[in-house]
């Protein structure tokens, strides 16, 4: 009756958010005096599967069906349900993402499970099973009791720290029964964003707004991002003006992020943008307007011209390396 953790992969490697999911699962398993089983679908290296043990997994179910090399929420959910039934899992854990939320909803319906998304801490199992989750786009938290026999937990990034240990997980081939109807829709083409660092996976994000004054003035921001090994983002007006690609748009109608460090350059801090970044552990705001709303949400603020400040930060970052 192990805790079951679904992991997402990228180019044959386990995503950082999924490493955190395994570590979270290990924390839950310790409370329940059981172990962690990981479910991996599609193309992933044997070494990556075994290394999930470093984050707390004891065993891995690997589904090698080539049809699952591309994300398919319906087929993935079926595989998740069958893995949970095989293991007798009462707690199932996924990372919060478009795929994770879709799978959790489908699996909950099939398993008659309670599902909670946006979880930020390990559950409290004293006298029941309660979890803390983020609500109102991260402005508040709610404590939710799950009373169903099977529980599906969808965790936010940084819910726990994924600290690598030194343990190898055993890998088993798992063959779920997949329906042809699950593959009625197929992916014909995938266009990947140009940035080497995914916004949803990034530990550090450097983001710009209209204060950057135009696409031709973006280089100082890119230089800082490169020095920090960060992903780049932007506000909605910037993407609407085509200064930056739309996949970098962060906010309520764009991508919601939860990095360890978010650096906002020339962004005023409209509520729609704040809704996309308030899951960040630390927010640094650079703006020449001392009355910019973003300063109220910032952990650190720098009042000044971004074009003077960014090169100095880049130089300092390079010296630290």
Task: Residues 3-183: name the CATH superfamily.
Answer: HUPs (3.40.50.620)
C-beta of residue 176 within 8 angstroms of C-beta of residue 78: yes
User: What 3 state SS string does 240-277 have?
Assistant: HCCCCCHHHEECCCCECCCCCEEEEECCCCCHHHHHHH
Q: Please, are residues 32 and 92 in contact by the beta-carbon 8 Å criterion?
A: no
What is residue 201's predicted lDDT score, i.e. its pLDDT? Answer: 86
Q: Which of 148, 110, 116, 107 is nearest to 134 (CA)?
A: 116
d(C-alpha 196, C-alpha 40), whole Å: 23
SS (H, E, C) 142-205: EEEECCCCCEEEEECCCCCCCCCCCCCCEEEECCCCCCHHHHCCCCCCCCCCCCCCCCCCCCEE
Q: Are 37 and 59 in contact (CB under 8 A)?
A: yes
| Residue 298 DSSP class | -
Is 210 labelled a binding residue?
A: yes
3-state helix, strand, coil in the chain (%, to 5): 35, 25, 40
Question: What pLDDT score was predicted for residue 148?
Answer: 97
Residue extents of the structural domains in the chain: 3-183, 204-320
pLDDT at position 11: 81
Task: Record the pTM.
Answer: 0.84
d(CA 254, CA 99): 16
> Which residue is it, tokens 């992903």?
231
Give the architecture-level CATH label for domain 204-320.
Answer: 3-Layer(aba) Sandwich (3.40)
Check: CB of residue 233 under 8 Å from CB of residue 290. Answer: no
Residue 191 has what pLDDT?
Answer: 65
Residue 217's pLDDT is 96
113 is in an annotated binding site: no
Q: How many CB atoms lie within 10 A of CB 143?
A: 10
CB environment 37-74: b (16+ within 10 A), e (fewer): bbbbbbebeeebbbbbbbbbbbbbbbbeeeebeebbbb
272 is in an annotated binding site: yes
What tens digit of pLDDT does each residue of 29-43 get?
A: 999 999 999 999 988
CA distances to 95, 134, 186, 232, 249 from 16, rounded to whole Å, are: 10, 20, 26, 18, 21
Is 128 annotated to bind a ligand? Reply is no
**Per the annotation, does 287 bind a ligand?**
yes
User: What is the token pair recorded at 8?
Assistant: 């997402």
Q: Give the span between the Cα atoms of 106 and 127, in whole angstroms.
A: 28
- Residue ranges of the chain whose pLDDT lies below 50: none
270 is in an annotated binding site: yes
pLDDT of residue 242: 95
Q: Residue 129 in contact with residue 135, Cβ under 8 Å? A: no
**Annotated binding residue 146:** no
Distance, CA of 218 to chain centre = 26
Quote the pLDDT of residue 194.
Answer: 53
- Two domains, one topology: 3-183 and 204-320: yes
Q: 100: annotated binding-site residue?
A: no
């Amino acid at each position: 009756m192990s805790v079951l953790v679904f992991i997402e992969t990228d180019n044959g490697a386990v995503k950082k958010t999924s490493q955190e999911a395994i570590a979270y699962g290990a924390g839950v398993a310790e409370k329940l005096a059981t172990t962690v089983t990981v479910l991996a679908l599609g193309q992933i290296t044997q070494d990556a599967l075994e290394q999930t043990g470093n984050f707390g997994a004891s065993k891995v179910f690997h589904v090698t069906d080539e049809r699952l090399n591309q994300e398919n929420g319906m087929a993935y959910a079926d595989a998740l349900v069958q893995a949970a039934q095989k293991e007798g899992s009462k707690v199932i854990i996924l990372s919060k993402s478009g795929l994770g939320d879709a799978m959790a909803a489908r699996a909950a319906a099939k398993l008659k499970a309670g599902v909670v998304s946006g979880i930020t801490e390990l559950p409290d199992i004293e006298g029941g099973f309660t979890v803390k989750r983020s609500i109102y786009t991260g402005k508040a938290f709610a404590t939710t009791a799950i009373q169903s026999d099977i529980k599906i937990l969808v965790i936010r990034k940084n819910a726990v720290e994924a600290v690598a240990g030194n343990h190898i997980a055993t890998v088993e081939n798992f063959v779920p029964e997949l329906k042809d109807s699950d593959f009625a829709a197929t992916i014909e083409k995938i266009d990947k964003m140009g940035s080497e660092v995914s916004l949803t996976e990034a530990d550090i994000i450097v983001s710009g707004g209209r204060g950057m004054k135009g696409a031709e003035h973006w280089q100082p921001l890119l230089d800082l991002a490169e020095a920090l090994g960060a992903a780049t983002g932007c506000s909605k007006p910037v993407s609407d003006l085509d200064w930056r690609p739309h996949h970098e748009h962060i906010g309520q109608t764009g991508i919601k992020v939860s990095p360890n460090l978010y650096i906002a350059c020339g962004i005023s801090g409209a509520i729609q943008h704040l809704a996309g970044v308030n899951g960040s552990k630390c927010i640094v705001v650079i703006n020449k307007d001392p009355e910019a709303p973003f300063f109220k949400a910032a952990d650190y603020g720098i009042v000044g011209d971004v074009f003077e400040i960014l090169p100095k930060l880049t130089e300092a970052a390079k010296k630290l390396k």
